[in-house]
Chains A and B, each alone.
Chain A
């Protein structure tokens, strides 16, 4: 069966510090991978998605970046965090085709102080 792992679960970082959130999927190959951010009381904002290794689509201009160094690994990074980067970050995967359901990781609650 397929599983998705996302860590850490919670993170408190000072303004200006770097960020690295990792997401890995097991039990499948060539998945679509997604990073979403959920600010308090708001919806799921698509940040990045990837349909293959090295293929990253950025949806929102910001100081975040994403990379997919391996088929089932998706990393969200920042060189310098802003207060506005606080939120609930969710990684998700779907089978490598359209019109299929997405499966979410348990999320990382990031607080920038």
Chain B
């Protein structure tokens, strides 16, 4: 079953912050985050493997709440290059190595 992402779309001005949420109905082994530019393949951002784990890459970070089966992606001081569609992917405990993605969150950054 696909994880559920929220919100579906976000429009920001450059420099503002955003949070994208991802929740699953299944117990998770891992949560992946990807960004896709229009017409291109998704690009890997980060993977979270443990409950409570947090990771960061430049001004993009993420957390994983294993008990709540949720993950959040944080984008701070957003840049124009952050625009795109963000997907969370999950591997459940029952279906390890089966990577299922949410429906995506479209992020638009305006100058």
Residue numbers of A with Cβ under 8 A of B are 32, 34, 36, 42-46, 49, 51, 57, 90, 92, 94, 97-107
Contact = CB atoms under 8 A, between A and B. Distances in A.
B103 A49 contact: no
B42 A98 contact: no
B32 A101 contact: yes
A50 B33 CA distance: 21
B97 A44 contact: no
Interface string B89-101: 1010000111111
A107 B39 CA distance: 9
16 contacts: A32-B97, A34-B99, A43-B87, A44-B104, A45-B101, A46-B101, A94-B97, A98-B29, A98-B96, A99-B47, A101-B32, A102-B44, A102-B99, A103-B44, A104-B41, A105-B41
A94 B44 CA distance: 11
Secondary structure at chain A's binding surface: helix, strand, loop or mixed? strand
| Interface size class, chain B | 20 to 34
B41 A106 contact: yes
Given A101-B32, A102-B89, 12 more contacts: A34-B99, A44-B101, A46-B100, A57-B98, A94-B97, A98-B30, A98-B96, A99-B30, A99-B47, A101-B47, A104-B41, A105-B41
